[in-house]
């Protein structure tokens, strides 16, 4: 990792924890954070955001949402706008997580609308991309990443890119215990960085953070984050245990100097 990029570690709680577990977890995380040069954001379920955000006021911990809707208000039953998220307040949002793409059925077009809405509201937007196992076996990893990134960032200006983080998350590695090898993940990240240079320019490609997600744990975080184009991680399962998540943040911190 180059020194200019602040490592980013995100904890995606998915549909886990109840209210009291969420509070215990956030308290333990805040107690354990050492003010390292890592941007740490947790993504709890929507219904706990407000309470957790209040609990984190004044701390280094940032709070994000796992999804958003792209219209500001109206007849969209069950959806949450970026304006509502800012009210909580949250600072960040995930778009295009593979579970939303592959379980819920979100299209690239919808992911793009959400990404643009989140950026327009000033939220740090973590655009998630990645190939399925079948696509990987067919040698389509880079092509899938390219088409998801081109579609996801369509209409996003260079001046908005400082709020964009790209999460490369091979679908076959999410929640499965299988992880891309550091070399395979580095190849994908380097190709994503080259793509950003093509789409924007060299400076933008050097500045943007590209993080890895897919069964990142304390045992593999160091070697993944030591790769030059891996700027942190998006963590699912291991973000539910304070000890494991903090160990991953620590792995990010060792790359920050």
Active site residues: 97, 169
Name all contacts of 78-85 with Cβ < 8 Å and 24+ positions apart: 80/46, 81/117, 82/117, 82/118, 82/120, 82/121, 82/123, 83/121, 85/49, 85/121, 85/123
Among 216, 221, 248, 249, binds ligand PEP (CB under 6 A): 216
Window of 53-61, 77-85, 220-228, 233-241 that interacts with ligand PEP by CB under 6 A: 233-241
Q: What number of other Cβ atoms are within 10 A of residue 103's Cβ?
A: 9
| Closest separation in Å from C-beta 158 to ligand PEP | 27
Total of residues contacting ligand PEP (CB under 6 A): 14
Q: Answer yes or no whether residue 235 interacts with ligand PEP by CB under 6 A.
A: yes
Of 189 and 205, the one with the shorter C-beta distance to ligand PEP is 189
Q: Which residue is nearest to ligand PEP (CB)?
A: 236
d(C-alpha 232, C-alpha 1), whole Å: 9
d(C-alpha 200, C-alpha 192), whole Å: 12
Q: Answer yes or no whether residue 49 interacts with ligand PEP by CB under 6 A.
A: no
Of 7 and 213, the one with the shorter C-beta distance to ligand PEP is 213
| Closest separation in Å from C-beta 257 to ligand PEP | 25
What are residue 107's phi and psi, to 5 degrees?
-90, 165
Cα distance from N-terminal residue to C-terminal residue, the chain: 10
d(C-alpha 235, C-alpha 67), whole Å: 16
Q: Answer yes or no whether residue 165 interacts with ligand PEP by CB under 6 A.
A: no
For 56, the 3-state DSSP assignment is coil
Of 135 and 199, the one with the shorter C-beta distance to ligand PEP is 135
Of 123 and 130, the one with the shorter C-beta distance to ligand PEP is 130
Q: Answer yes or no whether residue 169 interacts with ligand PEP by CB under 6 A.
A: yes
Window of 31-39, 136-144, 213-221, 243-251 that interacts with ligand PEP by CB under 6 A: 213-221
d(C-alpha 153, C-alpha 96), whole Å: 11
Q: Answer yes or no whether residue 213 interacts with ligand PEP by CB under 6 A.
A: yes
Cβ density class 38-77: b for 16+ within 10 Å, e for less? bbbbbbbbbebbeebbebbeeeebbbbbbbbbbeeeeeee
Q: Answer yes or no whether residue 236 interacts with ligand PEP by CB under 6 A.
A: yes
Of 14 and 193, the one with the shorter C-beta distance to ligand PEP is 14
Per CB under 6 A, residues contacting ligand PEP are 12, 14, 169, 174-175, 213-216, 234-238
């Amino acid at each position: 990792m180059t020194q200019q990029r602040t490592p980013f570690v995100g904890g995606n709680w998915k549909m886990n924890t109840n209210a009291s577990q969420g509070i215990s977890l956030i308290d333990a995380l805040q107690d354990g954070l050492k003010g390292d040069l890592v941007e740490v954001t947790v993504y709890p379920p929507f219904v706990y955001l407000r309470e957790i955000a209040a609990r984190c006021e004044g701390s280094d911990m940032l709070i994000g949402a796992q999804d958003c809707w792209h219209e500001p208000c109206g007849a969209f039953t069950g959806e949450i706008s970026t304006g509502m998220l800012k009210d909580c307040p949250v600072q960040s949002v995930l778009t295009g997580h593979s579970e939303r793409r592959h379980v819920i059925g979100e299209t690239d077009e919808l992911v793009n609308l959400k990404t643009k809405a989140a950026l327009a509201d000033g939220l740090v937007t973590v655009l998630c991309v990645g190939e399925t196992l079948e696509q990987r076996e067919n040698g389509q990893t880079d092509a899938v990443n390219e088409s998801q990134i081109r579609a996801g960032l369509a209409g996003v200006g260079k001046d908005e890119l400082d709020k964009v983080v790209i999460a490369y998350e091979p679908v076959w590695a999410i929640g499965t215990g299988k992880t891309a090898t550091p070399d395979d993940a580095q190849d994908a990240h380097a190709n994503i960085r080259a793509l950003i240079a093509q789409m924007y320019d060299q400076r933008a490609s050097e500045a943007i953070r590209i993080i890895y997600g897919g069964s990142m744990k304390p045992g593999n975080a160091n070697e993944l984050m030591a790769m030059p184009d891996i700027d942190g991680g998006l963590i699912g399962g291991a973000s539910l245990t304070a000890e494991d998540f903090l160990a991953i943040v620590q792995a990010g911190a060792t790359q920050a100097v």
